[in-house]
Chain A
Amino acid sequence: MKISKELVKGSTVMMILTLLERKPMYGYEMIKEIESNSNGVFTFKEGTLYPILHTLEAEGWVEAYWCEQEGARKRKYYRITDQGKGHLEAKKKEWTTFRSALDFVLGEGRI
């Protein structure tokens, strides 16, 4: 099913921060993870991930660094900051409230 753009837009930040909370990642890794975790529901243009990451960096929620390991190509990794963790926590709470309220209105919360 195709998901409307607005819905995806609101939740990408949450998804990215959740991924980075597990471990530092580079862009391609994130795309793969999101695709496999969402059963292919979230298939946005991959390039758009990067401006979002750069914005998160400017907000201070993630940190970026280039990592050069032997035998592997030079990659730009992102890791979540403490500030980012706090923001994610707040976002998650907001999402749970929103979801349960919506479920209730739609009737799925009633027994």
Chain B
Amino acid sequence: MISDRNRAAIEDYLDTVCSQIKNKEIHDDIRCELNNHIDEILEDYLAEGIEESEAIKQSLLHMGDPVHLGKQFWIAHKPKTEWTLLGLVTAFIGMGLLIMYSIGMNQANHDAMSLFLSKVLTTWIGIIALAAVFFFDYRKLKTWSPTLFLGTLVIMLLVLLMGPRVNGIPHLDLGFIRIDFIHLSPFCLIVFLAGILLVDVEKKSEASGQNKLLAKALLLLLVPSLFYLITPSLYSFLLYAVGFFVLFFTSKASRRQIVILLSTIFVLIVGLFLTMKPYQISRLAAFLDPYQDPQGSGYQLVQSIESIRSAGWLGHGFGAELKVLPGIQSDFVFTYLVYSQGWLIGGALASAVLFFMIRMIRVSQWVRDPYGRMMINGIASLFILCFLYSILMTVGLLPPANVAMPFVSHGGSLFLIHMISVGLILSIYRRKDLHPTRLNNESTTS
């Protein structure tokens, strides 16, 4: 056995190495690994009959300068920023600002620039929120996930029961502002769901746990779905169902569970069609053939398609007026973009969107922490759906819905949620190399 005094020399060495590594979480891991190595050299020296304190001195010499070593470790484990995603989000916001300015240019009333100015204001708030989440350690959310999930459901319930209605959708009334909470809730629920499902998967070992997990998953799927269906906010339901499925699928659920879950979602969708209100049915019919009633239920779609068609490669110019289509700052922002800037710029934005989607999937593959990866998968699926919907809807490939194009459309609270979601992805990526290595007892081939 090595004496305490000599042990202290090794500890000193390890302390010096770790003092250079600013992230404390990986200290234990690195200490243990280096200590192993030193012990191995030491054993060899002692076996050669070299005296203990001399052997330790030699071993540490072998390892090299501890300060230099610590610095090298710090370089390997430095937090990293996903500049590509950040750059794309900046481009989307820039595009949004331009469009708001363009729309505002021909509003001949006193608040001509109000769209643009409010977008500027929300951009600043969004940047602050994104930065705050970026530096926040997302893993702290894990233990709070069930509480936060439940909290979101409670707020949804309160909004449903007594929220004032704007355009038929109940809002959360905070006194100074009314928030379309139902609309932004899928993002909250999916983020918190990642923590809940992960804990379940980590615990599942016995067969009875499997059924319990399934029952719980069904409950987690059905309760929010019910809320969305009575709102009714079909688009939010779609977001939640897709996000839920992606999360459940990537949590390594068994095939039987996936089949049961998928059929539940299917039954929900069938139920949805059966309980559709007349105006929803006419909307759907209009989507299938908008030209059947171009002045009535097909109006929006026909106007959108015609506007895009008329744009040409270069569009009608900056500040072009598009009076015939309502909602050009929110739902039909893509239509207005193409109408005013032309097919070229529209294609460029669509390509950027495609790049953004691919990049999010890549980022999730680079993250090794299962919790982080699950969260990115969930958020990415919601973003992909939002983007696809907001583009495909304008060309008549999906039925019109209350959809905002993330980062580009006008709208405060939804924009804030999108910024926070991207902040989470960046926060996860930033910490992707900071995780201690897991214990794995599988035997090695040697």
**Which residues of A are at the interface with B, using a C-beta cutoff of 8 A?**
23-24, 26-28, 45-48, 50-52, 54-55, 57-58, 60, 64-69, 73-77, 79
Contact = CB atoms under 8 A, between A and B. Distances in A.
A51 B441 contact: no
The B interface is mostly helix, strand or loop, or mixed, namely: helix
B32 A76 contact: yes
A76 B36 contact: yes
B433 interface: yes
Interface in B56-98: 62-66, 68-69, 72-73, 75-77
B3 interface: no
A69 to B, nearest CB: 7
Interface residues of B, number: 35
Nearest to B29: A76
Given A46-B62, A51-B75, A51-B76, A76 B437 contact: yes
Contacts of A54: 73, 76-77, 433
Given A27-B37, A47-B64, A74 B433 contact: no
Contacts of B41: 28, 46
Given A27-B37, A51-B76, A58-B76, A74 B440 contact: no
A50 B30 contact: yes
A76 B31 CA distance: 12
Contacts of A27: 33, 36-37
B445 interface: yes
Which has the most chain B C-beta neighbours within 10 Å: A23, A54, A77? A54
Nearest to A65: B440
Nearest to A66: B439
B369 to A, nearest CB: 13
A98 to B, nearest CB: 26
Contacts of A47: 17, 34, 37, 63-64, 66, 69
Nearest to A28: B40
Given A28-B41, A46-B62, A23 B443 contact: no
A51 B67 CA distance: 13
B444 A77 contact: yes
A28 B36 contact: yes
A50 B33 contact: yes
Contacts of B439: 65-68
Contacts of A46: 37, 41, 62-64
A23 B446 contact: yes
A24 B73 contact: no
A60 B62 CA distance: 28
B291 interface: no
A99 B77 CA distance: 33
Contact of A45 (B17, B63, B75, B444): B63
Nearest to A69: B443
B256 interface: no
Given A27-B36, A51-B73, 7 more contacts: A26-B36, A47-B17, A48-B64, A48-B72, A50-B34, A66-B438, A67-B444
Which has the most chain A C-beta neighbours within 10 Å: B69, B76, B443, B445? B76
27 contacts: A23-B446, A27-B33, A28-B37, A28-B40, A45-B62, A45-B63, A45-B64, A46-B37, A47-B34, A47-B37, A47-B64, A48-B64, A48-B72, A50-B30, A50-B73, A52-B72, A54-B76, A55-B76, A57-B433, A58-B77, A58-B432, A60-B366, A65-B442, A67-B439, A68-B441, A73-B36, A76-B437
